[in-house]
Amino acid sequence: MSAPVIAPSLGSANWPSANTGLCGLIGHPVRHSLSPRLHQAAYRALGVDWAYLAFDVAPASLAAAVEGAGALGLVGLSVTMPHKDAAARLATRRSPTVRRLGTANTLTFSGRQISAESTDGDGLIADLRTSVSFEPSGKVCAVIGAGGAARAAVVALAEAGAREVLVVNRTPARAVQAATLASGRGRVAKADELQEAELIVNATPVGMLADAGRASGADEVMVDPSRFGAGQLVVDMVYDPPVTDWLSQAAASGARTRNGLGMLVHQAARQVEIWTGSQAPLTEMWRAVGRRPSPRSWHIAAAPPAPPTAP
């Protein structure tokens, strides 16, 4: 496979051109997404002649959108809610992680092949370790939710050595399925049991929906954040708004808090490595979202795979 084409200067009269490769994000909604900033900053730093766009795709149109992306020669697609489970099913090749989770946030196109990967779990662990110096090994950790991002978090925390992974979800059957992914370290828990957890990860969109005034009865808070306190790290995967009401309540009760921006940056970095075959430029990616990079650089892939051929 050939290396990506070196890009002319962004903004020049020669860019984009007929040689410019295209990557993108599919989700519903996507208008809030920072992924285009992150990826474009990475491509610019690597000198790759690629562009990255966000596409709002309704669930009923997902299969057609993925098929069209392959037909148009896109390099890859990032996948966000509500499409992660369906994206895994549409792929022709699935990584071991995707086969285990049944969900994917990364699609890579090569000819007629669509390869699926999940980078959410790697992104969560990378951010915990580099940004807040939290090591899951030996800790009791909890995940709220049982969707694609939640399942990725359960597996990642178990693989990082968590002593126990508690799963809280409104639907008991889905909670059992998620907890089972923790390889004997997971169990279904009730909300009042999370006081024993050192890490609580909210993997539901309730914070974003509630702050936007779009929460429905099914999106009501499953866990009261005011019950958390000192000695606990509370993470909300939502990054827009930067501080959800849910996270604010946890902080007011004395818990240490973290939003989902760092996870977003690190999972995007892993996608960049998958698609380009180069180490992701984390410093430039952090700057693209208006943050200083962590003083501890930690790259997920020491030896990334060979890059796909740019269209």
Residue 145 inside a domain? The answer is yes
Helix (H) or strand (E) holding 142: strand 140-144
Quick one: 150 and 242 in the same domain? yes
Quick one: 237 and 143 in the same domain? yes
Rounded Cα gap, residues 187 and 311, in angstroms: 46
Our CA dihedral for 192, 195, 199, 203, rounded to 10 degrees, sits at: 20
- Nearest residue to 52 (alpha-carbon basis) of 39, 42, 62, 65: 39
* CA angle 178–179–181, rounded 5-degree value: 70
> Residue 39 in 3-state DSSP?
helix
Residues 6+ apart with CB under 8 A from 88: 94, 98, 101, 102, 103, 104, 116
Residue 220 inside a domain? The answer is yes
pTM: 0.86
- How many domains does the chain divide into? 2
Positions in the chain whose pLDDT score sits under 70: 1-12, 207-221, 291-311
Rounded Cα gap, residues 235 and 259, in angstroms: 6
Structure confidence at residue 300 (pLDDT): 33
Active-site residue, 84 included: yes
Residue 29 inside a domain? The answer is yes
Quick one: 32 and 113 in the same domain? yes
Could you tell me the CATH number of the domain that includes residue 223? 3.40.50.720
Structure confidence at residue 6 (pLDDT): 56
Quick one: 100 and 147 in the same domain? no
Quick one: 253 and 127 in the same domain? yes
Could you tell me the CATH number of the domain that includes residue 86? 3.40.50.10860
Quick one: 215 and 255 in the same domain? yes
Rounded Cα gap, residues 152 and 14, in angstroms: 41
Rounded Cα gap, residues 119 and 92, in angstroms: 18
Residue 16 inside a domain? The answer is no
Quick one: 136 and 111 in the same domain? no
CB 152 within 8 A of CB 184: no
Quick one: 82 and 98 in the same domain? yes
CA distances from residue 138 to 167, 197, 301 in whole angstroms, order as listed: 17, 11, 24
Structure confidence at residue 5 (pLDDT): 54
> Residue 158 in 3-state DSSP?
helix
Residue 140 inside a domain? The answer is yes
CB 186 within 8 A of CB 158: yes
The 8 Å CB, 24+ separation contacts for 69-74 are: 69/24, 69/26, 69/107, 69/109, 70/109, 70/112, 70/114, 72/22, 72/311, 73/22, 73/109, 73/311, 74/21, 74/22, 74/23, 74/24, 74/109, 74/311
The phi-psi region of residue 159 (left if phi > 0; otherwise alpha if psi is between -120 and 50; otherwise beta) is alpha
Residue in this structure with the two tokens 């002649």, named with its chain if needed: 49
Question: Each residue of 79-90: pLDDT tens digit?
Answer: 999 999 999 999
Sheet order of strands, 93-94 included: 50-56, 21-27, 76-79, 106-110, 113-117, 93-94
Of 219, 239, 259, the residue that ends a domain is 259
**DSSP label at residue 200:** E
Residue 97 belongs to domain spanning: 21-118+267-288
- Nearest residue to 39 (alpha-carbon basis) of 264, 272, 261: 272
Distance of CA 53 to the CA centre of its chain: 17
Question: Each residue of 36-47: pLDDT tens digit?
Answer: 999 999 999 999
Quick one: 31 and 146 in the same domain? no
Structure confidence at residue 9 (pLDDT): 59
Amino acid occupying residue 71:
A
User: Which residue among the candidates 39, 84, 258, 266 is catalytic per the annotation?
Assistant: 84
Structure confidence at residue 206 (pLDDT): 74
Residue 105 inside a domain? The answer is yes
Quick one: 147 and 73 in the same domain? no
Rounded Cα gap, residues 110 and 297, in angstroms: 31
